[in-house]
Structure 1
Amino acid sequence: MDWKQEMLVREFVNDQWMPSCRGLRECTLIGYRSALDRHILPEFGDVELDEVSAERIELWMAGMPSEGAARKAWAVFRSILRKAMRWGLLERDPTIQVRPLKRTDYQPEVLDAGQIRQLLQGFYGHPLEAWLICSATLGLRTEEALGLEWGDINLTTGHVHIRRGLQWVAGHELTVEPKTELSRRTVVLPRFAVMRLRQIKGKGRLIGDLNPNQVDRRYRAWCRQHSLPCVPRRNLRHSWATTALAAGVDVAVVSRALGHSSIETTARYYLRPDLDVLKEAQKQWANTIMSK
């Protein structure tokens, strides 16, 4: 069989691969387009599909401005070439011979229990207080917290239904479905949060008429003005997870609250006990051994 297809990478991407991605989230498509325009097409756009080699891919990745950009571009290009092979336009996938960059051990900045308490107290009476309470006490993804409405919160039971997310994509708001089926979940507020939310109950979205960018600016500005502990909004989720695990909450329970598809994901990114926790674990273990 003659595998010579005489098709440029650019032609396959624009005529076949991108149209096949139309069902994906808008933010995902924008990310793909960014990787294509900035990294993939300038290097491989005018190269024929069957002339893309593992050596050229490795050299291309080595010249990337950052490891993050290289991993993203690599993932998109691998998806392109693998689909071309499945569709009979390539005899082999050259990315099989390429060793992808390993992800660095990412340890986001997080707040400890005392800092979370200080942050919550510092936003008392602020228009974004309800949003912050839910962000800091429920382990929500950034988009999930932004998309919360008062109607999603049962102030009798403390149950909060995660039904949607709100993103800021290419200069406009975008309401999206939960990331996965497990992300469409019900979580439970702690009692002190329920009590405070009853006092400030409103209507509509917790963030009111603000868009995601405005929420971020006002959150950061208030923290600066009042010398409050501050981490990026997405790290409020990390902060809840790490403090819950440190407090002894079972990793399976934390995983369910976060909406993860597996406990392994939770353990990999959040189960990082500090030295005090490890010392206590060793103390308990030693007591068990010595008492026998």
Structure 2
Amino acid sequence: MLLREFWNDRFWPYCTRNLRESTCVGYESAWRLHVAPRFGAMQMESISVELVDKWLAGFASSGAARKAWAVLRAILRRAIRWNLLDVDITRRDIQLPAKPHYEPVILGIRQQRSLLQGFYDHPLEAWLICAVSCGLRTEEGYGLEWSDIDLRAGVLHIERGLQWVSGHEVVVPPKTELSRRTLPLPRFAVKRLRELKPREGGRLIGALTPPQVARQYKGWCKRYSLPHVPARNLRHSWATNTLAAGADIAIVSKILGHSDIKTTARYYLKPDIAALRDAQRLWERALIA
């Protein structure tokens, strides 16, 4: 079977039935731009490791190469699962371009304080309080509704996310089962959210769309010289600062909704130089004792 035939008749219909719309958009783009031009007219069993290696070596961007390979791999593995392909090249040693190192810019604890103070009485203040103080994914913060917040118990419930896909809003379920969680709010947040809560409820971002929230947030920071990072990095900032303050990594991982504590350690556990010096002092003390 030609790869194009499998995509059109089997794989793409499967994607539209089972995957998030945002994931489908990414798959379709990688297929149309990269996978179909090279392999679409080939028999699936003719796709070899050598051909894939040569194809990946021709990408100008390592990120685009890795995304394109992820889509081709997903297609071939689905064909294998449905007994339409016998040879599994996806588990061979494919030569992927090196993944570029990404070090997100985060806010220090004092910068977080300044940011919250700078948004006092702003229409986005409630959203920002929750995003800054609970380590939410961007889509989780956008999807928060006032009915998700129990101010008597001092907790908020993550029930959904709100994404902006191809020019329209998409309400999605939590990313994983562990992402559906109940999080405690800090005391200052409970007190301020009680003052901000409207009678009519609704979303914390009101009638704004995710792109409008991002623009207003960035514009206000720029206008008043407030510390600014992209909304997704508010999550990074909370996790890094909470771990640095001495919180247990297992608890932080649970609050973040991670399925694996290794993810928390890999991306958020970054001791500063003072903590590293403390570790050296402990070792030195043991050495000379």
Q: What range describes the TM-score normalised by the shorter chain of this pair?
A: over 0.9
Q: CA deviation at 1:16?
A: 1.1
Alignment partner, residue 124 of structure 2 = 128
2:150/2:156 contact within 8 Å kept: yes
CA distance in 2, matches of 1:270, 1:19: 37
CA distance in 1, matches of 2:287, 2:14: 60
What amino acid is the match of 1:153?
A: I
User: Aligned-residue CA RMSD in angstroms?
Assistant: 1.5
1:140-219 mapped onto 2 (5 Å cutoff): 140-202=136-198, 203-219=201-217
Q: CA deviation at 1:210?
A: 0.2
CA distance in 2, matches of 1:109, 1:19: 39
Which segments of structure 1 move beyond 6 Å, counting only runs of 4 or more?
A: none
Alignment partner, residue 40 of structure 2 = 45
Alignment partner, residue 10 of structure 1 = 4
Q: CA deviation at 1:65?
A: 2.8
The DSSP-based 3-state class of the residue aligned with 2:18 is coil
CA distance in 2, matches of 1:283, 1:93: 52
Indicate yes or no: 2:69 matched with 1:71. no
Q: TM-score under structure 1 normalisation?
A: 0.93
2:104/2:236 contact within 8 Å kept: yes
Q: TM-score under structure 2 normalisation?
A: 0.94
Alignment partner, residue 50 of structure 2 = 55
Moved more, 174-183 or 148-157: 148-157
Relative distance call for 1:103 and 1:130 in structure 2 (3 A) is: same
Q: Equivalent pairs: percent with the same residue?
A: 58
Moved more, 270-279 or 80-89: 80-89
Count the aligned residue pairs. 285
CA distance in 1, matches of 2:134, 2:87: 46
Ranges in structure 2 where 5+ consecutive residues have no aligned partner: none
What amino acid is the match of 1:54?
A: V
Q: CA deviation at 1:283?
A: 3.0
CA distance in 2, matches of 1:152, 1:85: 42
Partner of residue 77 from structure 2, selected from 82, 88, 100: 82
Alignment partner, residue 232 of structure 2 = 234
Alignment partner, residue 223 of structure 2 = 225
Indicate yes or no: 2:279 matched with 1:281. yes
Moved more, 166-175 or 42-51: 42-51
Q: CA deviation at 1:189?
A: 1.0
CA distance in 1, matches of 2:34, 2:229: 31
What amino acid is the match of 2:275?
A: V
CA distance in 1, matches of 2:279, 2:93: 43
CA distance in 1, matches of 2:247, 2:287: 24
Q: CA deviation at 1:217?
A: 0.5
Indicate yes or no: 2:84 matched with 1:104. no
Q: CA deviation at 1:284?
A: 4.3
Alignment partner, residue 249 of structure 1 = 247
Relative distance call for 1:83 and 1:277 in structure 2 (3 A) is: same
2:57/2:97 contact within 8 Å kept: no
CA distance in 1, matches of 2:185, 2:228: 22
Q: CA deviation at 1:142?
A: 0.3
Q: CA deviation at 1:276?
A: 2.0
Ranges in structure 1 where 5+ consecutive residues have no aligned partner: 1-6
CA distance in 2, matches of 1:252, 1:208: 34
CA distance in 2, matches of 1:197, 1:284: 43
What amino acid is the match of 1:133?
A: I
